[in-house]
A and B are shown apart, each in its own frame.
Chain A
Amino acid sequence: MRDGQITAQDVGIAYRLYREKVSTLKEAVANRFRHLRGAETFWALRHVSLEVAPGEALALVGHNGSGKSTLLKTIAGVLQPSEGALATQGRLSPMIELGAGFDPELSGHDNVFLNGALLGFTRKQMESKFDRIVAFAELGDFIEMPIKNYSSGMYARLGFAIAQDVEPDILIVDEVLAVGDERFQEKCKARIQDFRAAGVTFLFVSHSFEAARELCPRAAVLHHGRLAFDGAVDGAWARYRELARGPVPGPAIEA
């Protein structure tokens, strides 16, 4: 496998659903630990096979609860597949949740290092990135203030600024382009185009056809956890519309 490659083979993610949530020992003993065997299984994703080549851009579309975020989290390594296999090669930059792990009491400065360490960077590496990150976030002197004093725009800008500086092989973006004002959004888009030009594999979740077509020639449609379409972006949108018109059954739960 080359850096930037994503291979998913028959991936399934099962969630255990509990009719009665057991969280105390008393309940567990009373139920004879039945909850650990799991009552019902909900497959948020099932039989999903995908291959994304290095440098390719893929948009993920689907209704709410179709499994887009679950798939992204699985690719990002947050969730382990319950069945099937998933492999990624190279460094991942998951822009799924910007500013994950930010501590409101700490300064922007400290949070940059904390967030960097969460992404697996050493202190030295973060020191060399620090000035670039601050410049990109356009925070100026605010960087030394506790981030609980930040506006939500500043918060998101700092999050994006860190995520964009990780030199990824695979970039995962979950509708975070809607951060900051219009000018900052343009800047984010430009940055993502840079990555595309540099041959970074790109995964993008969007509800907007325009945004998806601008960035990705290929799109995959997820429908109730199954892969319903994988191909050119225009075809994907047609399929998505078609599925959206159809009756949407409630999520299937297997006993």
Chain B
Amino acid sequence: MSSIPLHQPESTVDWNLPNKSRVGMTALIVGESALFTIFVVAYVFYLGKSLTGPKPSDVLEVPILGTICLLSSSLTIWRAERAIKNDRMASFTAWLGATIALAVTFLIGTALEWRKLIYHDGLTIGTNLFGTTFYSLVGLHATHVVVGLFLLSAVFLFSLFGWIDSRQSERFGVVALYWHFVDVVWIVVFSVVYLIGR
């Protein structure tokens, strides 16, 4: 400095700012929530407004198994987070594998449900307003599950090859944050589509 201040106040302050990746992911989640809100609003707005059948109560079955799988995957990924933080890598790989398996089960459930709706009940995205809003909303959520699955699978491969350890626990925490968000969104979608809308 070309000029030295006469005195410096509070020269030794603690300076801790939040982790930037966590902040970034939180911001992304806020944006994504707005995106989902619009689709949920459209779904609720169009409830019962279809001019032709089938109606939700005719064809929808509550996907209990899929929901249990997806919600419990939040628990397994939380265990994986704790494992990587304490550098128990074998346990981390196992819990992460379990998370992936649960997510895949959920997606298979959705696929079977859609297969039944399309081939058995004849409900497509163009059939009526229910079809349009249902496939858009559930499909948007499923897309997010698929994206999360890609992220988790990448981390899973890394851990199989032994490329990560507890130093990456903060980064894995960011992936887990996204996964928890996907789960919370499912609670909303599930309530709106299968409980309120049916």
> Are both chains from one complex?
no
* Chain A residues at the B interface, C-beta cutoff of 8 Å: none
